[in-house]
Chain A
Amino acid sequence: MRQALWLVKKELKYHYLSLMLTLVFIIFLALLAFPILEGTVLRLFGTEHVVYNRIMIDALFVLLLPCFGAIFMSKPYLSFGTIKEDPYSKRMALFRAMPIPVHVLALSRTFIMVITLLLNITVFYIIITLMLSDVFFQYLAPIEYVLFLLFWFCYALLFGGFNPFIENGTNGKVLHLFPYLFIAIFGVLLFVIYYATGIGLVDWSLLAIREYGFIAPVCAVIIAGTGCYYWNRLLTNRLRTRDYM
């Protein structure tokens, strides 16, 4: 644990600038998200007629939140050169050449993901919360709002937990192709859900929290925690068995 944290500290220090740029982009996303979230709640629980786009709110929460676990405003994500150069694999090859236990390496990648996610999502949530109007909280109680945020944090942790595997267990090509695959799978899933139920996933999460209170976020915490544990195990196995050419 101590060794993994030492690595995390070093890595985050070296990626400080990319992390800051990522946060700037997150602030931009939060400014985009808050009016849509407000519209969602007013339409679901209020009586006013609200112009509302459920695709936008689902796109923001379902597709973008898992990305918060990655420092995505960094060269490997922004440059197509990554496909050829595969910088994450080269970095991992260097670490594997040193006497660092594989489980320490995997744990450090998971910690980096969790810390990045916590940082990004905290900024995202703070901006949204500060920008939401009082009217919003007339329709959604503060405790429901906190549970809603916790639910989506768990969602981000569950799917963002896969990021360390994509970064360090695959190659540059997969790193760039995976987001498109993720968008395609969830795009189809969202379409099916809209078609079948007439509501989006964010709508559904709000309704579930109103209906079941703590149960939905508690389930989410358990699923996300378990998911994170298994992603870490998967990454450990992958780092141990892959070839670093």
Chain B
Amino acid sequence: MNVVRVEGLTKHFKKFHLGPLNFKVEKGTAVGLVGSNGSGKSTFFRLLMNLVHADGGTVEIFGKKMPSSEIEIKQSIGFAANMLEPFYQLSIKEISSHFSYWYPSWNQNKYEDLINRYKLDEGEKFGKCSTGMKKKVDFIFSLSHEPELLLLDEPTAGVDLGSQKKMKEDLIEFLEDGEKSLIMSTHLIDDLKQICDNIIILSPNGKVQDFLRKEEVEENWAKFWVSELTEELRCHPHVIKVNDSQHPSYLLTDQKHVVEKELREKGISVISIQRLPLDEIIEFQLDS
């Protein structure tokens, strides 16, 4: 079952066009959203939440159309995107009264557990909290009403290492039963490695450059150091980069088994094979 279904979603600004975006998020999966600054990650979240209105395309969440089922959908979404600043004069406890009122599934025990777990003082005014503390407060509110889908915009950015670890643990626990889903933007490779199943890479011009299934990527992407590079290999659809400026030359592929078979058939000797770590794959995709 698809929790999120986005079709042909576009948004045009004066100097930036986002989309068209097409993708699905399956129930029980975690999707990482990666892209350079200004690639439209935050705008994408706001489009999903109907805070920004699309110029074209459709968004379906939990099988219901946005915005016609907006309230019902939002009640089941935990959204953390650094938006609490207007409550700067309120204490964390006072802010919680807003969330507990508007979310019918608010779990006060869970909220209190999380406040204790992250060692936050409920009486502290939000405006007096540090950047990291604000992130934690945002994160806690997104989780405390037992959402079915979490939308997190760089949740761990600016958070201390200990709390980052706790956040990852909480997200892994959130996803554990396979009933809940997550979309999070991040610049941290560890977040992607430890939490996400799939990765969406947004290009600087606001398009989905790639949709990577983490398991497949780790299985299929590899670097081959070879004795020679033929013209046929250079033009091979699954060879995405070659480097013959050094010896031995190497090629990069997103289909390890296909290329390995072809190299064997053509009698090209493979000196060494290296599976590509996820960060290098993403870096490569972002650079290209």
Contact = CB atoms under 8 A, between A and B. Distances in A.
B284 interface: no
Contacts of B102: 98-100
Given A94-B84, A244-B46, A245-B46, A99 B51 contact: no
B83 interface: yes
B171 to A, nearest CB: 20
Interface stretch (A48-56, A85-93, A178-186): A85-93
B53 interface: yes
A142 interface: no
Contacts of B205: none
Contact of B86 (A90, A99, A100, A243): A90
A97 interface: yes
Given A94-B84, A99-B103, A241 B71 contact: no
A97 B81 contact: yes
Contacts of B79: 97
Interface of B: 43, 46, 49-53, 70-72, 74-75, 79, 81, 83-87, 89-90, 97-99, 101-103
A185 B99 CA distance: 43
A21 to B, nearest CB: 15
Given A94-B86, A99-B75, A6 B53 contact: no
Interface residues of A, number: 18
A90 B87 CA distance: 10
Contacts of B89: 14
Given A99-B71, A245-B52, A94 B83 contact: yes
A84 interface: no
A96 B50 CA distance: 8
Contacts of A94: 83-84, 86-87
B77 to A, nearest CB: 8
Contacts of B71: 99-101
